[in-house]
Structure 1
Amino acid sequence: MDLGSRVDTLMDGLRADLERLTAIPSVAFPGFPPEPVHQAHDLLVELLRDAGVTRIDRLDLPDTSPIIVAEVPPPTPDAPTVLLYGHYDVQPPGDESLWLSPPFEPTPIEGGLRARGVADDKSNIVVHLGVLRAYEGRPPVGLKIVLEGQEEFGSAFDDYPPTDPDRFACDAMVIADMGNIRPGSPTLTTGLRGASEVVVEVRTLAEPRHSGEFGGAAPDALLVLIKALATLHDVHGDIAVEGLRREEWTGTTYTEEEFRSLAGVRDGVPLIGSGSLGERLWSGPAITVVGIDAPSVDHAASAVVPYARAKLNLRFHPRQDPKEAQGILIAHLGSLRPFGVTLSVTAGDTGPGFEPATGGPAYRAARTALREGWGTEPELVASGGSIPLVNGLQKAVPDAEVLLFGAQDSMCNLHAPNERVLFSELRSAVVAEAAFLREYAEAFRAGATS
């Protein structure tokens, strides 16, 4: 029986297990009960054991949900070891009135399943389970399986791998927390933008003052802030901060119609910026005002505003140093004197981007495997999001090739209402990952004997 046919016989069971897993509200954010997170952990341990994995450990770190670290020994001394990653925690459901069905009641849809976390990232964990079942627990490579329970909120695990490199030692990693640019288009993610936060603050008066008596001369803090923020972009909407890296994007990207639909851009509203969407979204910077403190319209008084503050989210090129990128933005804001007023600028959290090497045997094996899984040539894209743990794993195992692919797709509504996964993508991802292990094992042995 060929690999695709073997996976087809497993699909009913994989769908059932995905439903069981997504029915658990495993939100690891503060204010949510921890019991469902532990319930999801225990279910996955059970499923791994049922799939033939006997070496299963639990890693406990301070203020961090439990991490599953399992292992399947290599079948022969000359076989490589592959690390499979996923996370079993999910985003909060948000406004449940926007969901077409309760977020933690897995609901069949045409060709798939709707639930919170079904795409991000429980479908990808089920892909790993499917691969184990396809090989009856005896894959052609050694496996290290890492399933964490607090990826969405962040935890001590992000920085842990370099402190315990032997636990994560491998020849290649499959970071299954990504997916395809569109359904049916197998996709390898070859870059993740870095992220940083900066807060800019303005204080001009001791307290509000009557706008009729004092407006026109008294410095309005909100006007000062608006004038400062307006310097961040040029007339086209491109970043106007010198020193933030931007390069041409040569991989696949969305069509404008796809992007407008995905972003929910209203009819008649233009996109901002110039150049390709790949440059604007992946190989160039973005600065977003994600929060602003100012009087609300509904409760506004006729007064000059004495205080205003904004939080900025900066996304930057995968190869730009995070401290450098954040420092460039801070220096730009710090150099401004809108109406002669000095701004207070404070650095927030920052995290690096990631750009894996793509010329090794694991990447060649992955391209072949994705072609087998989906029946078409794989695309290369990047992501504006970030996965902090990837950098920690790369530091722990610097020589390992890192592959980012999975069963999600860009239209799956991850982090949004009505998240869904398509069973066609799930099936193809299981075939592709299983084929990757086969192809990589063969390439690894051939390289070792040549």
Structure 2
Amino acid sequence: MVLTRGNARQLRSKITRMSSELSRRTAVRDAAEAAVPAALADLGRLVRIPSVAFPGFDRAEVARSADAVAELLEQLGIFERVEVKTAIVPETGAEGMPAVLATRAARNGRPTILLYAHHDVQPVGDESLWETPPFEPTVRGGRLYGRGAADDKAGIMAHIGALRALVDACGGDVDLGVNLFIEGEEEAGSASFAQFLRDNADALRADVIVVADSGNWDATTPALTVSLRGNARFTMTVRTLEHASHSGMFGGAVPDAMLATVKLLATMWDDDGAVCVAGLTEREAATPDYSEETLRDEAGLPEGVSPIGRGSILSRIWNKPSITVTGIDAPSVKNASNTLSPEVSVVISMRVAPGQPAREAYAALEAHLRAHAPFGAELTFRDVDCGDAFLVDTTGAAVTSARDALREGYGVEPVDIGVGGSIPFIADLVREFPGAQILVTGVEDPHARAHSPNESLHLDTFRRALVSEALLLEELDRG
């Protein structure tokens, strides 16, 4: 190319613009690094609020948590509206748990991004298994311990910290549209989520949606979650007797409910521990290398206890169904007597392979259980809750931008991962906002122990996640 005065000016203009963009991006990155201590301090304050949305827990604590999040969003000073809102659960007419909604319209043709996280947490469980009080944030060994420290109050603070960095670095020169939806009942099943979306569709509509409720490959390698299993959870009661009877007088002739339940549950798996229920499907997809040694380390599987299933380890977790009995109502060891139990109830949680509708999978499992009920046992099913699996379209421009931001924020190449868990409400997001690009990210590493005693957040992973999100916001703000 012959350099003329005209294209020389164009070249100088391009170089100036690139230099300005690079300077702005560096400023955002520096501001994000500086925002981490305040974000962690605010996270500690949120962790102290026991915001469990399950029935039987104090709803006022969930409301207090929502108010605390709303106050943090108000302090940013960029939103046109910050509200604590609820929606009605259509099936019951009950009021859902309080969520926080903040909105800011896009300017000058920029896109709008919706940032999602949830402020409710799992119950503590057996508090004696916690090494430190679950609602007293404690730092040790480079990790912050406490219920919700990782799942998902850290997701909230990654969003807020990234926005603080963008505002601090760019001042008032931000045109990006930003909506925040901080849910208050995700751990309890998101019963009012779909109605909330319908009630607030205009306020929530966005070009890009970031769901900060997943994990990473490890503490130093970021990940985009591109597949999630669906779920079907229900309670089954097995009944064999009209009333309890003496086990000595009738044992050996009369089937008790525990015998029937044990035999019935065992039919769901084969000798390798793989699910063997007709009608359940698997997804065929390649998975990265993942050793049994890594599985043992991350899952706490001791030597001498074998993994279950067949195929690559990650295919068992990401692409195949699994079934877990998560609860049982039966006489306790303390109250055991020589009695034939008339009925036993169990909670069954099934993870559904991507590609199969959750309701279809539930129907297959219910049909299997009815067909295999021993001794003519009477089965009843209740509290059925289904959520569909999710597969991300990875061809969108926002996915490329997210990968670039993760690469820069973590300093290593990001990984596309599947997750064995479920985020059922994503199907609601897809249905309500079909044109939006959905990015599923997170701040957790494999040792976070979400839902378990001693849940924790790897502090350096949080720092990198916050920086990465700030860089993503900066790129989207440039249009």
| TM-score in terms of structure 1 length | 0.90
Check if 1:61 corresponds to 2:98. no
In the other structure, the counterpart of 1:418 is 454
Structure 1 residue 295 displacement after superposition? 4.3
- Give the C-alpha shift of residue 64 in structure 1: 2.4
Q: 2:265 aligns to what?
A: 229
- Contact between 1:252 and 1:380, CA under 8 Å: does it hold in 2? no
Give the alignment partner of residue 362 of structure 1, picking from 398, 421, 437: 398
1:244 partnered with 2:280: yes
Give 1:196-275 correspondences, 5 Å limit.
Answer: 196-211=232-247, 214-252=250-288, 254-275=290-311
Give the drift of 1:361.
0.8
Q: Which runs of 5+ in 1 are unaligned?
A: 446-450
How has the CA–CA distance of structure 1 residues 48 and 310 changed in structure 2, closer, same or farther, with 3 Å as cutoff? closer
The yes-or-no answer on 1:98 pairing with 2:134 is no
SS at 1:407's partner residue?
Answer: strand
CA distance in structure 2 between the aligned counterparts of 1:290 and 1:280, rounded to whole angstroms: 19
Amino acid at match of 1:413: R
The 3-state SS of whatever aligns with 1:425 is helix
Partner Cα separation in structure 2 for residue 412 and residue 371 of structure 1: 22
8 Å Cα contact 1:292-1:311 kept in structure 2: yes
For residue 291 of structure 2, what is the amino acid of its counterpart? T
CA-CA distance at 1:316 after TM superposition = 0.6
- Helix, strand or coil for the counterpart of 1:118? coil
Question: Partners in 1 of 2:136 and 2:377 — Cα distance?
Answer: 52
Match of 2:158 among 127, 131, 139: 127
Aligned AA for 2:367?
A: A
Task: Give 2:215's aligned residue.
Answer: 179
Q: Secondary structure at the match of 2:328?
A: strand
Q: 2:184 aligns with which of 129, 145, 149?
A: 149
CA contact (8 A) 2:234 2:349 kept: yes
Aligned pairs for 1:65-84 within 5 A: 65-77=97-109, 79-84=110-115
Aligned partner of residue 237 in structure 1, secondary structure: coil
Residues 84 and 175, structure 1, Cα contact 8 Å, conserved in 2 = yes
1-structure distance, mates of 2:55, 2:237? 27
Distance change in 2, residues 1:217/1:32 (3 Å): closer
Equivalent residue for 2:388, pick from 352, 355, 362: 352
Query: Cα distance, 1:128 vs. partner?
Result: 1.2
Q: Secondary structure at the match of 2:233?
A: strand
Match of 2:442 in 1: 406
**Equivalent residue for 2:371?**
335
Consecutive unaligned residues in structure 2, runs of 5 or more: 1-22, 89-94
For 1:88 and 1:180, the matched residues in 2 are separated by 20
SS of equivalent residue, structure 1 residue 41: helix
Cα gap change, 1:344 to 1:53, in 2 (>3 Å): same
| Offset of residue 412 of structure 1 | 1.1
1:170 offset after TM fit, Å? 0.8
Contact 1:88 / 1:121 at 8 angstroms: preserved in 2? yes
- Equivalents in 1 of 2:476, 2:228: separation in Å? 24
The 2-side partners of 1:237 and 1:52 are apart by 54
> How far 1:60 moved relative to its partner?
2.5
Whole-Å separation in 2 of the counterparts to 1:4 and 1:364 = 19
Q: Distance in 2 between matches of 1:266 and 1:101?
A: 24
The alpha-carbon deviation at position 297 of structure 1 amounts to: 4.9
| Greater shift in the superposed pair: 294-303 or 36-45 | 294-303
Greater mean deviation of Cα atoms: 165-174 or 150-159: 150-159
Q: Is the 8 A contact 1:336 1:343 kept in 2?
A: no
Partner SS, residue 53 of structure 1: coil
Q: Once the 2 structures are TM-superposed, how far is the Cα of residue 187 of structure 1 from its aligned partner?
A: 0.7
Q: Which residue of 2 aligns with 1:448?
A: none
Q: Does residue 1:4 correspond to 2:29, yes or no? A: yes
What is the CA-CA distance between 1:140 and the residue it aligns to?
Answer: 5.1
Distance 2:322 2:431 in 1: 26
Q: Deviation of residue 210 (structure 1)?
A: 4.9
- In structure 2, C-alpha distance between the alignment counterparts of 1:163 and 1:19, rounded to whole Å: 32
Structure 2 residue corresponding to 1:383, chosen from 419, 426, 440:
419
Corresponding residue of 1:40:
65
Identity %: 41
Post-superposition Cα deviations, 1:104-161, rounded to whole Å, max 9, x if no partner, equal 2222223232222111111111111112111116545211111122222234432121
**Aligned Cα RMSD in Å?**
2.4
Aligned with residue 147 of structure 2, among 106, 116, 130: 116
Deviation at 1:290, TM superposition (A): 2.3
SS in structure 2 at match of 1:406: strand
2:462 aligned with 1:436, yes or no? no
SS at match of 1:178: strand
How far off its partner does 1:247 sit? Answer: 2.2
Deviations 1:163-222, CA, capped at 9 Å, x for gaps: 542222111100011121310110111122111134444433444455555444433443
Q: Which residue of structure 2 aligns with residue 31 of structure 1?
A: 56
Q: 2:81–2:104: 8 Å Cα contact kept in structure 1?
A: no
Matched letter for residue 349 of structure 1:
D
Residues 22, 216 of structure 1: CA spacing in aligned structure 2 closer, same or farther, 3 A cutoff?
closer
8 Å CA contact retained: 2:399, 2:439: yes
- Which residue does 2:320 correspond to in 1? 284
Q: What is the CA-CA distance between 1:96 and the residue it aligns to?
A: 2.5
